[in-house]
Amino acid sequence: MIISSITLNNYRLYKGTNKISFENNGSQNIYLISGENGFGKTTFLHSLLWCLYGRLVADVEVNIRKELMSYGYNTLLKNNLNHTQKTLVEKLDKQIVSKIKKTGYNSETEDYKSISQYYVEIEFSEVVIPSIPCSSLIVKRGYDYITEKEFVDIYIDGAKNELTNEIGPDIFINDFILNKDIARFFFFDSEQIVALAETNTAAERRKLCSAYNEVLGVRKYEDLKHNLENVRLRFRKKSSDVDTRNKLFALLKKQKSKRGEIDYLNDASNSLDSELNELLAKNQELHERLIREGNNATVQEIERLQSVLDVTKEKDNEYKSLLKNYLEYAPLAMVGRLLVQTKDVVSKDYNISKTSAELNNRNLIISDITSDLLLLIQDADISNEQKFTLLEKTRGILNKYQSELSNESTLTTLSHEDYNEFISVFSFIVSTYRSEFERLAEDYKKNKQILERTSRRLANIQSKENDALIKNIRVEKNTIEKGIEQIHDNIRKLHVQIGTATQELATISKQVTELSKKVNLSDVDSLKDELADQLISELNQFLYSLKEEKKYSLERRIKNILNSLMHKEDFIDKVEVNIVNEDMDIVLYSSSGGVINKDSLSKGEQQLYATSILKSLVEESGIQFPVFIDSPLQKFDKSHATKIITEFYPQISKQVILFPLLYKELTPDELEVMKPLINSAYLINNAVTHSYFERIDIDNIMPL
């Protein structure tokens, strides 16, 4: 499916009828639509999304979602009318306008339509719709400012078709042209698409999983399985087993309520995400204002500096205390050899004293033993002669163990504790004292430098904080940052509630399944139920194998595409797609086996990562649809940009429509590389009150 033409009539900046035609020319699949900021590039992209999805456009585009949250869809429809046309409508005769609102247009007021209506029309060719042969398809969505009615017309080969009337235009577009869940893979802003690399929230991962299931064709089989499960439930609702049936009804009601609760919590989470994005943008704007005013410090930085100051002050006191202790040993370290000589003398004296004390103790013990033995012999019942002989021999034996004490003099007398302390000090001084002292002095010096630098930085910030303008900006920024912190906290709480509710829903669903087995069915319904059960079982097996096959294929594609687009050869060694229920995450592994934190990638690398996911999903799905890219090649260096132009754009789709800001998002060198692939180029010009398209020769689009 490709686009033949796009027409904007009185849509916002585009007054009157403005049409772009896209000629199909084989290998030349790139179309450029460029204009200055504010001329209507983004408006043009938004018009296409609104034409296809109407009220559901908020599910696709973040900025439109913010507008809808602020004003509502009806206000959005009114704001879409070109300003000049809106002024003309407001000048119309009030009675005629009132009559048109009540009874509609007639032959006399038909001309008023050209003033009050706007529309966007997209014509497709090479369309494939099952069971409906066609060569062209037109989707036209518009709004009448007077009647306040939106209209959607779908023409197949120039005529309305019964299928579109039967199922409705929105369902037809969603089912046969492009599902809204995957639209952001074909309409994307290069800046916004980086968010795809930052799927940190559960809501973002669920969106990615939903798109994954839709793109790869998993959703249709899951819907079929759910339909079969609903058929089985309808059988049970007709059962004559009243008691069990009533219990089942109660569980189904509870299940429906829990699903509604989860939907409500998800909506609340999405709403908070949008509010958070607005506050983050405002916070960034205030930060830039602080930078312009000469104070770019954040509250966190000020707090960090104060914390650093407190720590360095505490360390400064610790280092001073340690240095004081080290300096007490300095005189001993300075005497050098004298300290060694002193150690020798002290050790010698200590050993002499220790030996003398040990000998004296032994002599005393021997004397005590001698006295006790002599007394024992004296009291023995033997002859005096025998006593004398035994006493002499005992004295002789014990005298051999008596030692003579040394008469060698000593200069010092140290206790065991004093000697150990002296040896410890000596060992410290002659071994680690110097290196430890030098290290401590260096640490003290570095800490002192950090302390002084931090003190000056903090004093400088605090002096600027006294400026009235900066103070006001700071107060507003602090309020917003508190709001951001509160929203983060609320989102975390919501995710906990969603997780709890999801678990409860799973439990209820299991109870429904178990109770359903107990409901008695009629013979006819029982046979149908068995068949439905068999089909569900087969679908479960098929879905499991399909998901595993698609998962493996997607992992391989992402890895190959990402490595081919990046400078770093084999930067990604492995890609793992993890899917649990409705939650999907993509994990990147380096050649060393470690997980690559996607937040650590540069903005250019994050965009390459998001681009590789887009290309992988599109290739895997086989969906043929034009790709629209706003702000292309932004944040890419020259090598990456060349790879995107030569390897990504030619293969991603038969039509790639780029909306670059010349010289910034598309340089002359990049244009030269791209020229062989460019089919046609348009400029969006502005005539003060409105914008319009002008086809231009590619050689003249970027004059020197």
DSSP 402-450: --PPP----S----HHHHHHHHHHHHHHHTTHHHHHHHHHHHHHHHHHH
Cβ distance 448 to 247 under 8 Å? no
pLDDT of 293: 55
pLDDT surpassing 80 at residue 294: no
Phi, psi of 509 (to 5 degrees): -60, -40
Residue 321, C-beta contacts closer than 8 angstroms, at least 6 positions apart: none
pLDDT surpassing 90 at residue 534: no
Residue 367, C-beta contacts closer than 8 angstroms, at least 6 positions apart: none
Cβ distance 402 to 366 under 8 Å? yes
Name the average pLDDT for the chain. Answer: 79
Residue 119 belongs to a domain: no
Give 6-24 pLDDT, tens digit per residue.
Answer: 999 999 999 999 999 988 8
Give the CA radius of gyration of the chain: 43
Cβ distance 624 to 129 under 8 Å? no
Residue 337 belongs to a domain: yes
The two tokens of residue 103 are 């009874």
Give the integer Cα–Cα distance in Å for 52 and 41: 18
The two tokens of residue 645 are 């132009």
Give the integer Cα–Cα distance in Å for 209 and 213: 6
Across the range 499-520, mean pLDDT stands at 78
Regarding predicted confidence, which is higher, 335 or 382?
382
DSSP for 245-304, written as a single string: HHHHHHHHHHHHHHHHHHHHHHHHHHHHHHHHHHHHHHHHHHHHHHHHTT----HHHHHH
The two tokens of residue 646 are 């030569």
Give 73-95 pLDDT, tens digit per residue.
Answer: 888 899 899 999 999 988 888 88
From residue 590, give the alpha-carbon distance in Å to each of 555, 577, 607: 14, 15, 18
pLDDT surpassing 60 at residue 677: yes
pLDDT of 394: 79
Q: Among 200-209, 226-235, 271-280, name the one with the lowest average pLDDT.
A: 200-209
pLDDT of 242: 67
Residue 133 belongs to a domain: no
Residue 43 belongs to a domain: no
CA angle 234–235–241, rounded 5-degree value:
115
Across the range 209-230, mean pLDDT stands at 74
How many other CB atoms are found less than 10 A from the CB of residue 134?
A: 16
Residue 52: which pLDDT band, with cuts at 50, 70 and 90? very high
pLDDT of 218: 74
Residue 190: which pLDDT band, with cuts at 50, 70 and 90? low
pLDDT of 120: 95
C-alpha count within 13 angstroms, C-beta hemisphere, residue 300: 4
Give the integer Cα–Cα distance in Å for 521 and 523: 6
Regarding predicted confidence, which is higher, 273 or 4?
4
Give the integer Cα–Cα distance in Å for 131 and 168: 17
Residue 375's SS3 state is: helix
How many other CB atoms are found less than 10 A from the CB of residue 228?
A: 17
pLDDT surpassing 70 at residue 401: yes
Residue 8 belongs to a domain: no
Conformation bin of residue 39: beta by default, left when phi > 0, alpha when psi is -120 to 50: alpha
Q: Per 3-state DSSP, what percentage of the chain is helix, strand, and coil (rounded to 5)?
A: 65, 15, 20
| 382 alpha-carbon distance from chain centroid | 106
The proportion of the chain whose per-residue pLDDT surpasses 90, expressed as a percent, equals: 8
Cβ distance 505 to 255 under 8 Å? yes
Q: How many domains does the chain have?
A: 1
pLDDT of 298: 60
Give the integer Cα–Cα distance in Å for 305 and 79: 48
Residue 416: which pLDDT band, with cuts at 50, 70 and 90? confident
Give 494-509 pLDDT, tens digit per residue.
Answer: 888 888 888 888 888 8
Residue 666 belongs to a domain: no
Exposed e or buried b per residue across 317-356, where buried means at least 16 C-beta atoms within 10 angstroms of its C-beta:
eebeebeeeeeeeeebbeeeeebeebbeebbebbeebeeb
From residue 359, give the alpha-carbon distance in Å to each of 366, 406, 416, 417: 10, 9, 17, 20
From residue 251, give the alpha-carbon distance in Å to each of 237, 399, 502, 505, 641: 12, 105, 15, 10, 56
Selection from 23, 14, 68 nearest residue 44 by Cα: 14
pLDDT of 195: 58
Residue 629's SS3 state is: strand
Cβ distance 670 to 637 under 8 Å? no
Cβ distance 631 to 34 under 8 Å? no
Selection from 218, 231, 81, 93 nearest residue 142 by Cα: 81
Residue 620 belongs to a domain: no
Regarding predicted confidence, which is higher, 686 or 205?
686
From residue 695, give the alpha-carbon distance in Å to each of 7, 511, 672: 14, 64, 19
Give the integer Cα–Cα distance in Å for 105 and 219: 44
Give the torsion sign (CA, 527, 531, 532, 533): positive
pLDDT of 51: 93
Give the torsion sign (CA, 42, 48, 54, 58): negative
Residue 612: which pLDDT band, with cuts at 50, 70 and 90? confident
Residue 261, C-beta contacts closer than 8 angstroms, at least 6 positions apart: 501
pLDDT surpassing 60 at residue 622: yes
Phi, psi of 162 (to 5 degrees): -65, -35
pLDDT of 202: 60
Selection from 221, 300, 239, 676 nearest residue 485 by Cα: 300
Which domain, by its residues, includes 363?
A: 318-451
Give 116-156 pLDDT, tens digit per residue.
Answer: 999 999 999 888 877 777 888 999 999 999 998 999 999 98
Phi, psi of 419 (to 5 degrees): -65, -45
Regarding predicted confidence, which is higher, 239 or 368?
368
pLDDT surpassing 60 at residue 352: yes
Strand partners, 692: 685
pLDDT of 118: 94
pLDDT of 588: 81
pLDDT of 4: 92
Selection from 67, 63, 83 nearest residue 75 by Cα: 67
Give the integer Cα–Cα distance in Å for 285 and 555: 38
The two tokens of residue 594 are 């470690």
Phi, psi of 140 (to 5 degrees): -130, 120
Strand partners, 684: 693
Q: What is the 3-state secondary structure (H, E, C) of 314-359?
A: HHHHHHHHHHHHHHHCHHHHHHCHHHHHHHHHHHHHHHHHHHHHHH
pLDDT of 239: 61
Give 439-486 pLDDT, tens digit per residue.
Answer: 888 888 888 888 888 877 766 665 555 566 667 777 788 888 888 888
Cβ distance 574 to 589 under 8 Å? yes
How many other CB atoms are found less than 10 A from the CB of residue 686?
A: 14
Residue 479's SS3 state is: helix
Residue 596 belongs to a domain: no
Give the integer Cα–Cα distance in Å for 295 and 460: 9
